[in-house]
Amino acid sequence: MKVDWRALLNVTVVTLVVAVAAVAVVAAAAYCLDTAHERELEGRRAPALRLVGYTLFVVVGCGVLFGLWLMIPYFH
């Protein structure tokens, strides 16, 4: 049995890049929601920040669902 090392490296790099990107998007979403909450405690409204935060969470959720769709053959 031969191992295709180039394909393994490709899978490893893509996995790391996507994982780091997903964590960065979740961190940005949490930051937006936290900043919106702080502004509301100060008496200012921040609906745009809240919308951006929830939108980023939805984007990451869609990415997770897409990954599950790719991995589970029943959905194809």
pLDDT at 75 over 90: no
Q: What is the pTM of this model?
A: 0.84
Q: Within a 13 Å sphere around the CA of 11, how many CA atoms are in the beta-carbon half?
A: 5
| 16-33 pLDDT tens trace | 999 999 999 999 999 999
Task: Identify the burial level of 27 via C-beta atoms within 10 angstroms of its C-beta, where 0-12 means exposed, 13-18 middle and 19 or more buried.
Answer: exposed
**To 10 degrees, the CA torsion angle through 55, 56, 61, 63?**
120
